[in-house]
Amino acid sequence: MTAQTLKDRLPAGDPRNKIEFLAEELDRRLAELLKPAMPKNILRNAAFLAACDGFKGSLSRWGRPHIDKDNQNSLSYAHSLAAPACPNWNGEAKQLSKPEFRSFSVSENDRFGSRTGGQLQISSGSHNQVLYQIFRAPAATVEALKSTCCYIRLRGSGYERVRFGLVKLNENYEATGYIASEIIQAEMWTDEYEGWIDNVTLEMGSVYAFFVERLDVKQAQHTFIASAGVYFGVSGEIPELDTTEIDLDDQLFFKIKTGLTGAEFVENMTFPIPLMNYPHGIEKHLTVNIVETHSTDRVLSKDILIRANRDTNQLELTNVTGGSVGIGGKEFSVEAYYSKNVNTINYFNMPDYVAA
């Protein structure tokens, strides 16, 4: 059916009715033309439209073994408090005794209306987590840099508080202190809620991380984040969300080796390091896990250390207990996630971090 033209829609009868109709139509179209555009969002994948390969669904690809401490010299996921979330986003957990840490997942269902296209679920049991995205302050006028705003839109599974804002990073991409932060709280069990921080000043060229930290984790097991933003403007504006760029080559998934039995893992065993760019060191960009092939939430052994030998460009396994691992002849795979951005900013070890 052909759409009606403006002429076809003119009312019949009195010419005055036609004039009033045209005046109203002109006002409406002028209002649309003069409507301000959404502020440009500095963040990428701001509506969580893309998921990591293997992280689609309600839980992460890898489960979480019990661990006693973070061992940053090991690339093993079993010794890390950090995990990939989705392209352009990473997360880490607070150092605790034997934490259980479920990572992040992206749902294809839009529960938040037309402004966003996805959501990111943070599930961690009762342990503190922070989600973050690293960015460099763009070239802009001094006035614009002084009018930076942060935006967050989310839904909780309880009445939990969430802290969000910006932290500054040093040359090693570690958090050094808060630039701006705000705590907001859900008012209903499943209702969405929003928050803004305004009048933040950025330094052109400096590196920051936008963060979202779950606080009341013992009363709420999940938090759903629908969208986030950092933009130049005023509080109350909604920046670009579902049109922001996405680095689809961020957080790539690799199967380094498959079809191995537990008995085949021996001390000083080696595997090739994936050929990727590691500008801040392999440990800052690569996370490796040895999992049961048909049950990827079960690891071979949480005691195995995985380190990178830069001279041979190989991953080396140490602290392997020989034939005692992988009892029952189960099949295992060596898997890895590569993150283009650094996979940890040591948020919870930041000098001015304060538990809320």
Percent of the chain at pLDDT exceeding 70: 74
CA dist 352 and 177 (Å) reads 6
293 pLDDT exceeds 60? Answer: yes
Is pLDDT at 57 greater than 70 in this prediction? no
| Residue 111 to residue 113: CA distance in whole angstroms | 6
Burial 224-255 (b: 16+ CB within 10 A, else e): bbbbbbbbbbeeebbbbbbebebeeebbbeee
Q: Which helix (H) or strand (E) holds 73?
A: none
Residue 209: exposure state from Cβ atoms within 10 A (0-12, 13-18, ≥19)? buried
- Cα distances from 276 to residues 220, 253, 313, 337, 339, in angstroms, run 38, 12, 11, 11, 10
HEC secondary structure over 80-118? CCEEEEECCEEEEECCCCCCCCCCEEEECCCCCCCCCCC
pLDDT of res. 190: 63
Kindly report the backbone phi and psi dihedral angles of residue 225, in degrees, each rounded to the nearest multiple of 5, phi listed first. Answer: -105, 125
Contact (Cβ atoms closer than 8 angstroms) between residue 89 and residue 130: no
pLDDT of residue 42: 96
Residue, of 142 and 222, whose pLDDT is higher: 142
What percent of the chain has a predicted confidence (pLDDT) above 90?
29
| Structural domains of the chain ordered from first start | 77-232 (2.60.120.260), 252-338 (no CATH)
- pLDDT of residue 196 exceeding 90: yes
Q: How far is Cα 146 from Cα 142, in angstroms, rounded to an integer?
A: 6
pLDDT tens track for 111-168: 444 444 566 766 655 667 888 999 999 999 999 999 999 999 887 666 778 899 999 9
Of 56 and 313, the structure prediction assigns the larger pLDDT to 313
Residue 87's contacts (CB-CB under 8 Å, 6 or more residues apart) are: 44, 45, 50, 51, 52, 246, 247, 248, 250, 251
Question: What is the residue-wise DSSP string for 196-252?
Answer: EEEEE---TT-EEEEEEEE--TTT-SEEEEEEEEEEES-TT-----TTS---TTSSE
- The SS3 assignment for 155 reads strand
pLDDT exceeds 60 at position 107: no
Mind listing the pLDDT tens digit for each residue in 253-280? 888 999 888 888 888 999 999 999 999 8
Query: Cα-flanking dihedrals φ and ψ of residue 143, to 5°?
Result: -60, -40
Apex CA 124: angle with CA 316 and CA 183, to 5°? 120
Average pLDDT on 58-63 reads: 54
Q: CB-hemisphere CA count at 13 Å for 100?
A: 9
Q: What is the overall mean pLDDT for the chain? A: 79
Residue 338 has pLDDT above 60, yes or no: yes
Look up residue 25 and give its amino acid: E
Tokens of 275: 């050929």
Mean pLDDT on 233-238:
92
Q: CA triplet 175, 177, 183: central angle to 5 degrees?
A: 105
Residue 221 has pLDDT above 70, yes or no: no
Which residues are registered as beta bridge partners of 178?
A: 167
In sequence order, which ranges of the chain are alpha helices (DSSP H)? 6-9, 15-34, 142-145
Would you tell me how many other CB atoms lie within 10 Å of the CB of residue 9? 10
Q: Do 28 and 20 form a contact (C-beta atoms < 8 A)?
A: no
Distance of CA 60 to the CA centre of its chain: 13
CB 55 within 8 A of CB 289: no
